[in-house]
Every structure is written in structure tokens, then in C-alpha cells.
Amino acid sequence: MKIAVLPGDGIGPEIVRQAVKVLERLKADGHAVVIETAPIGGAGYDAAGDPLPEATLALAKSADAVLLGAVGGPKYDTLDRPLRPEQGLLRIRQALGLFTNLRPALVYEELADASSLRPELVAGLDLMILRELTGDIYFGQPRGRRALVNGEREGFDTMKYSESEIRRIAHAGFAIARKRGKKLCSVDKANVLDTSILWREVVNEVAKEYPDVALSHMYVDNAAMQLVRAPKQFDVIVTGNMFGDILSDEASMLTGSIGMLPSASLDAAGKGLYEPIHGSAPDIAGRDVANPLATILSVAMMLRYTFSDEGAASRIEAAVRRVLRDGVRTADIAKPGEATVGTERMGDAVVAALSAHR
């Protein structure tokens, strides 16, 4: 298991350090883990003048899986777009062909009252959002700026999806739904956008190969509303890059704790990049307060989706649950007045729970 570790910026290095402890624990238990680290994002810019240095991409390509912390920080906000930390992330997704982005929103029993929604609306929520990650308005050409005849500036981007791009993410959606509650909701804006009309057509064609999965379609504005009205109606949502970006942030907050949510971005062969859903949180970086659980749970996803090691994946998830059950809390998931631990101690608690239950 050759794993490229890209800590990135802000809280990235400290949360990734905890996830690496977990990997080292697995190694001590006999897993063939090999770890190599490289800079990305602002750290890439600082080290090599590029948010995705060539050596980092080469390492990521040669690895079986990539573990990423987070990128970005105020220090880099004034750089030109191609040099900004986010570009490192967008470019590595595209260069590795990571078109399937899995973003689970899972409510832990112990944390159900952390949600901003009433506990009965979210208790037991287990939702998976599949976001297409390498197409759409994020990457569509042409894009840019031009001057209008009247001298006004105009900015423009292109939303587009080819049939094959829609087909492969639809297949991924049905395949995941089949392994879960067998319900897939495809989200688009087919009442307005041509891209979405084709999206819906192709998803319907692919559906014929999955008669056991119940497919529904929903407009994105309605989906945004339904997610906060009755989120438990969903099992798996599949959608494009832009809508998925927005809906997955919304869904993460249903759980009340963005610091808990991992993600996986996979290519056609199951190679993947794993990262927490949250950002680099520069305001709390280096203070040992960030929650490392989303990154640790990303390692569990890595074991499940790239290394097909369900045993090790569940073992990590069980260790996280045990730590939560024992009342160990970082500040973001603590109730007012509850005692909290820092990043390092949360990492240590998970490793201890792993060690106690082989």
C-alpha cells in the first residue's frame, strides 16, 4: 500500500499527522504500508512556486492512494488564479482522472444534537453524495474575460458534460446505491439547462441496467430545500461538479460537524485521493484544536475503496465510534461546558482504541 501523503496548508499538517499515526498502527499490525510525503497548495507554492509541484504529481501518480489534508490560506489570497492553492487541488483531481467524488453525510448517534436541525430530522441520517469531479463548469472551455463593444468587462465560464462523462458517474451512482439502500436521486436543473437535459436522458438510459435500484430526479433548487426539510428521504444522490460542491457543503452541516466528514475521489480503477471535506481553517492552524477525525475516517475510506480491506476500514470506524462513546471531544463537537481534548490527544485516543481492539 504505497500512500502519498500531501498535508497541504493550515490545519492540514496537524490533522494528517494523526491519520499517519493510524496508518503506522496498521503497519505495526502487519499491513504493508509505505508512506511518502510531498507539498501541495500553498505549501507547494512556497516550496516550488507551484501549487501542484511536478514532483508531487509524480509521487501521487506512482502511489496507490493519496491522503490529503487541506489547502489554502490568507497568505495566498492575492496570488493570480493559476498559482492559488485551490488550483493544486483542481489540477490533481483532473490529472489523476478522479471523476467520482464520494461525500458521505453520516450522523453519529453520539453527536445527533450537534446538528442545527432538530435531532429527530437527522437522527440516523446516512446519506451519500456522489459528485462528478472532473467536468462541468469547473473545467469547461472557453472561459475567461473579454471586453464588450461598449468597453464593459464580461466574465464567462462554460457548463458542459459529454455523454460518456455522464454515463460513467451514473454507473458509479447506481453501483453505490445497489450496495446501500437501492435508492438513487439524480440532481440537475433540466427545467433550464441543456447540459442537464442531456444529463437526465443519459441517467435514464443507464438506469435500464439497474432495474433493482429506484431512480428519481430532482431539480437542484428543490434538492437544496429537501435536504433541510427531510434529509432522510435520500439514500444516494448523484449530481454534477458544481451542484455537488454546493449540496455537499449543505449536507455536511446536517451532521452538525464538518470536522467529522471524510471523502473519497476515485478514478475508473479505484485509485483514489482521500481528504476531509472541511478546509484548511487558517484561523485555528497550529493551535492543536482542529478535529482530526474526518482525516482519520478518510483513511478508513481509503482502505475500503482502494485497498478493498473492509476489515481494516471498519476497525478504524469502530475505533472512532468508541472514542466518541467514551466522550472524547474536540472543541467543534463538544457541547457548551464539556471538557475537550486537542488534535494530538484525539489522534492518540483513536490509536489507543485501535490497539485495544485488534
- Residues serving a catalytic function are 138, 189, 221, 245, 249
- Answer with the entry of ligand IPM, Mg ion, none that 64 interacts with (C-beta below 5 to 8 A by kind): none
Q: Are 226 and 80 in contact (CB under 8 A)?
A: no
325 residue type, one letter? R
Name the minimum Å distance from CB 93 to ligand IPM: 8
Question: Which of 24, 31, 64, 86 contacts ligand IPM by CB under 6 A?
Answer: 86
Nearest to ligand IPM of 18, 280 (CB atom): 280
Least distance in angstroms from the C-beta of 215 to ligand IPM: 25
CB 129 within 8 A of CB 240: no
Residue 11 near ligand IPM by CB under 6 A: no
Matching residue, cell 442545527 = 116
Tell me which stretch binds ligand IPM (CB under 6 A): 83-91, 166-174, 209-217, 333-341: 83-91
Question: Could you say whether residue 65 binds ligand IPM (CB under 6 A)?
Answer: no
What does the block give as the cell for 135? 467536468
Q: Which residue, judged by CB position, is nearest to Mg ion in the bound state?
A: 245
Which three cell numbers mark 309?
A: 480491506
Orientation angle between helical segments 85-95 and 54-62, nearest 10 degrees:
40
Q: Which is nearer to ligand IPM, 157 or 245 (CB)?
A: 245
79 binds ligand IPM (CB under 6 A): no
Q: How many residues bind ligand IPM (CB under 6 A)?
A: 4
Binding to ligand IPM in span 103-162, by CB under 6 A = none
What does the binding site for Mg ion look like in residue numbers (CB under 5 A)? 245
The footprint of ligand IPM on residues 245-264 (CB under 6 A) is 245
CB 244 → ligand IPM: shortest distance, Å?
8
Give alpha helix (H) positions in the chain.
12-28, 42-48, 54-62, 85-95, 119-122, 163-179, 194-207, 220-229, 241-254, 293-305, 310-325, 343-356
Grid coordinates representing 356 are 485495544
Q: How far apart are the first and last CA of the chain?
A: 20
For the bound state, the minimum distance from the C-beta of residue 86 to ligand IPM, rounded and expressed in Å, comes to 4
Give yes or no for residue 89 binding ligand IPM (CB under 6 A).
yes
- 55's grid cell: 514532483
Amino acid identity at 298 = S
Q: Which does 40 bind (CB under 5 to 8 A by kind): Mg ion, ligand IPM, none?
A: none
Judge contact between 159 and 151, C-beta under 8 A: no
90 scored as a contact of ligand IPM (CB under 6 A): yes
- State how beta strands 100-106 and 262-266 pair: antiparallel
Binder of residue 89, out of Mg ion, ligand IPM, none (CB less than 5 to 8 A by kind): ligand IPM
Least Å from the CB of residue 89 to ligand IPM: 5
Residue 228 is a binding residue for ligand IPM (CB under 6 A): no
Q: In terms of Cα–Cα distance, which of 128, 195, 141 is closest to 166? A: 195
Q: How far apart are CA 301 and CA 256, in angstroms?
A: 20
**Tally of residues, the chain:** 358
Binding site for ligand IPM (CB under 6 A): 86, 89-90, 245
